[in-house]
Amino acid sequence: MLESSFGLVFFLKIPRNESKIRTVYLRITVDGIPKETSTKRKWDSTRWDQKTERAIGTKEDARSLNFFLDSLILKVNEYKTEIMYSGKPITSEKVMDYVLGKITPRVKLLEEFQKHNDQMTALLGKGYARGTLQRFTITKNHLTAFIKFKFKKDDMEFADLNLEFVKDFEFYLRTVRDCSNNTTLKYIANFKKIVIRAIDKEIILKDPFKNFKGRKTKLVKKPLSTQELYELERHYFTTDRLNVVRDVFVFQCYTGLAYIDAYQLRQADIKDGMDGNLWIMSERQKTNSTTNVPLLPQALKIIEKYKDHPICVQRGTVLPVSGLATKSRTNFLRPMLHFLFYKILVPFL
């Protein structure tokens, strides 16, 4: 939007009774289309200079009015700049609505985040998976804790978001929450989605992520060898919970199922294949594609082991998986990683 297409004028509107005391009006014109409104301030016409559009004199009342008018100009120009910066069209009606308080940036960040999560909850199974909802829920929890930690507040206004806020949140995730680089960037990406949603809703106009840069670490994933898997299958852990997690992990190794698919696997998904053996025939949640996987003896043994497990009976599932929390699973898998390193890998070093 070019400056020449924008105009702002203060003037005194003549009342019907021809009094010298008149109301100060504001007129905003964009592309030849004017909008005007009363400033709710009255002024003596004999003490008004229309060329400067200001009150005449140095008395306190004149200085007070002029300061108020300058503040209005500053407010309008800041909003106009934000609109131009965002690349969105500017209209006299939109600017006037902002002046009158009809457009307000006072929307709360965590409130809007919760609205997003509530909508996602309503769409579970209709485009969104429970695991996706959980990731956004965890992100909101981290953001809530960060705001309390950094600002001693329960929430923040979108108007207060800037690049510094984003970088401080990133630093908080890396240090206080001890998140890895890639995990941190995943939480940041979830947060950014909420901000982009707010921009689309015109809650804010500037993107605080505009100059934010983050680079994921490329991970080289080394699969277990046959020997490592063999040793893990036969190792006995000191708690039943660890043995269950181990069995679920081994089951995934022999079927190729993602954790969410193993979590949801039901007896009805196990069917006779054309070869006369049992197969897993189900829908993968992430891709919505059909999966047909032959059940190897090791996987069948695990299914048989847990067929009467209380969690399997209660949930109607094949495996006794009680939760989806990524961090919880990671904590349980760590003892297995230690086992693999010290019991299997060290002898070969």
Interval 77-131: pLDDT, tens? 888 887 776 667 888 888 888 888 776 557 899 999 999 999 999 998 788 878 8
Indicate the pTM of the whole model.
0.59
| Percent of the chain whose pLDDT exceeds 70 | 87
Contact 61, 37 (CB under 8 A): no
| Percent of the chain whose pLDDT exceeds 90 | 51
Interval 129-165: pLDDT, tens? 788 898 999 999 999 999 999 999 999 988 889 999 9
Look at 151-165, 199-213, 303-317, 323-337 and tell me which has the smallest mean pLDDT: 323-337
> Is 245 in a helix, a strand, or coil?
helix
CB neighbours of 183 closer than 8 A, spacing ≥ 6? 173
Say if residue 308's pLDDT is above 80. Answer: yes
93 HSE (CA, 13 A, CB side): 2
| Mean per-residue pLDDT over the chain, rounded | 86
| pLDDT confidence of residue 103 | 65
| pLDDT confidence of residue 27 | 94
Helix, strand, coil % in the chain, rounded to nearest 5: 55, 15, 30
**Length of the chain in residues, anyone?**
349
CB neighbours of 197 closer than 8 A, spacing ≥ 6? 112, 116
Q: Between 245 and 308, where is the model more confident?
A: 308
Interval 165-196: pLDDT, tens? 999 999 999 999 999 999 999 999 999 999 99
Say if residue 327's pLDDT is above 70. Answer: no
Q: Spell out the domains of the chain, with CATH numbers in brackets.
A: 6-100 (no CATH), 109-201 (1.10.150), 226-348 (no CATH)
Pairing of strands 54-55, 6-13: unpaired
| pLDDT confidence of residue 285 | 67
| pLDDT confidence of residue 90 | 84
> Distance between terminal CA atoms of the chain?
67
| pLDDT confidence of residue 49 | 94
| pLDDT confidence of residue 345 | 41
Helix (H) or strand (E) holding 298: helix 297-305
Look at 54-68, 177-191, 329-343 and tell me which has the smallest mean pLDDT: 329-343
Contact 235, 343 (CB under 8 A): yes
Say if residue 337's pLDDT is above 70. Answer: no
110: tokens are 């965590």
The number of beta carbons lying within 10 Å of the beta carbon of residue 74 is 10
Interval 223-240: pLDDT, tens? 788 888 888 888 888 888
Compute the distance between CA of residue 27 and CA of residue 21 in angstroms, rounded to an integer: 19
| pLDDT confidence of residue 338 | 63
Say if residue 333's pLDDT is above 90. Answer: no
Compute the distance between CA of residue 120 and CA of residue 91 in angstroms, rounded to an integer: 34
Compute the distance between CA of residue 161 and CA of residue 151 in angstroms, rounded to an integer: 12
Compute the distance between CA of residue 224 and CA of residue 252 in angstroms, rounded to an integer: 12
Q: What mean pLDDT do residues 234-247 have? A: 85
Say if residue 55's pLDDT is above 50. Answer: yes
Say if residue 4's pLDDT is above 80. Answer: no
Compute the distance between CA of residue 195 and CA of residue 199 in angstroms, rounded to an integer: 6
